Structure 1
Amino acid sequence: MQRYFIDEDNWQDGYIAITGDDYHHITNVMRMDIDSEILCNHPNGKVAHCKIEKIDTTTVVVKIIEWLESNTDSPISITIAQGLPKGDKWEFILQKSTELGVSRMIAFQAERSVVKWDDKKVNKKFARWEKIVKEASEQSHRNKIPSVDGVLSFSALLEESKNYEWKFFAFEDEARNRQSKKLHDYFAKINEGDSVFVCIGPEGGFSLNEVEQLLAASFQAIRLGPRILRTETAPLYVLSSLSYYFEEMR
Structure 2
Amino acid sequence: MQRYFIPETNITDNQVTIEGEDVKHISRVMRMTTGDHIICCSEEGRSALCRITQIESEFVLAVPEQWLDEKKKLPVHVTIVQGMPKGDKLETVIQKGTELGADTFLPFKAERSVVKWDQQKSSKKLQRLKKIAKEAAEQSHRTTIPSIEEPYSITSLIERSKSYEHKLIAYEEEAKAGESAALVQTLHEANVNDRFMIVFGPEGGLSDKEVGLLKEAGFTSCGLGPRILRTETAAMYVLAAISYHFELN
**Shared fold, TM over 0.5:** yes
Match of residue 213 from structure 1: 213
Distance 2:124 2:2 in 1: 29
What secondary structure does 2:63 align onto? strand
Please state how far the C-alpha of 1:13 moved relative to its aligned partner.
4.4
Between the aligned partners of 1:180 and 1:2, the Cα distance in structure 2 is 41
Question: Is contact 2:180-2:224 (8 Å) kept?
Answer: no
Separation in 2 of the partners of 1:5 and 1:180? Answer: 39
Partner of 2:121: 121
Question: Which residue in 2 is equivalent to 1:201?
Answer: 201
> Where do 4+ consecutive residues of structure 1 move more than 6 Å?
none
Deviation at residue 195 of structure 1 after TM alignment: 0.3
Aligned to 2:183: 183
Distance of 2:38 and 2:158 partners within structure 1: 41
The corresponding residue for 1:241 is 241
- Deviation track 1:198-243 (CA, whole Å, cap 9, x = no partner) reads 0000000011110110110100000000111110000000000101
Letter in 1 for 2:161: S
Q: Is the 1:182–1:224 Cα contact (8 Å) retained in structure 2?
A: no
Structure 2's unaligned 5+ residue stretches are: none
Distance 2:196 2:134 in 1: 22
Give CA-to-partner distance per residue, 1:128-152, whole Å, 9 cap, x none: 1111111111110111111101111
- After TM superposition, list the pairs within 5 Å mapping 1:78-97 onto structure 2: 78-97=78-97
Kindly indicate whether the alpha-carbon contact (under 8 Å) linking 2:10 and 2:18 is maintained by their aligned counterparts in 1. yes
Cross-structure match for 1:222: 222
Which range moved further: 113-122 or 124-133?
Answer: 113-122
Deviation at residue 109 of structure 1 after TM alignment: 0.6
Aligned-partner Cα distance in 1 for 2:153–2:122: 13
Counterpart of 1:83 in structure 2: which amino acid? Answer: G
Percentage identity across paired residues of the two chains: 47
The aligned counterpart of 2:105 is 105
Across the two proteins, how many residue pairs are aligned to each other? 249
Residues 1:64 and 2:64 aligned together: yes
Contact 1:99 1:137 in 2 (8 A): yes
RMSD: 1.0
Secondary structure at 2:189 match in 1: coil
**1:118 Cα deviation (Å)?**
3.0
Whether the aligned pair in 2 keeps the contact of 1:84 and 1:202 (CA below 8 Å) is: yes
Structure 2 SS opposite 1:162: helix
**Offset at 1:61?**
0.4
Give the TM-score normalised by the residue count of structure 2: 0.97
Write the deviation string for residues 20-48 of structure 1: whole angstroms up to 9, x where unpaired.
Answer: 11111000100000100000001111110
The residue matched to 2:91 in structure 1 has which SS?
Answer: helix
How far did residue 116 of structure 1 move?
1.2
In structure 2, what is the Cα distance between the partners aligned to 1:224 and 1:122?
32
SS at match of 1:51: strand
Conserved 8 A contact 2:179-2:222: no
1:7-86 to 2 correspondence within 5 Å?
Answer: 7-86=7-86
- SS where residue 150 of structure 2 aligns? strand
What code does the residue aligned with 1:100 have?
L
Which amino acid in 2 is paired with 1:186?
Answer: T
Using the TM superposition, give the Cα deviation of residue 181 of structure 1 relative to its aligned residue in structure 2, in angstroms: 2.8
Greater mean alpha carbon deviation, residues 180-189 or residues 157-166: 180-189
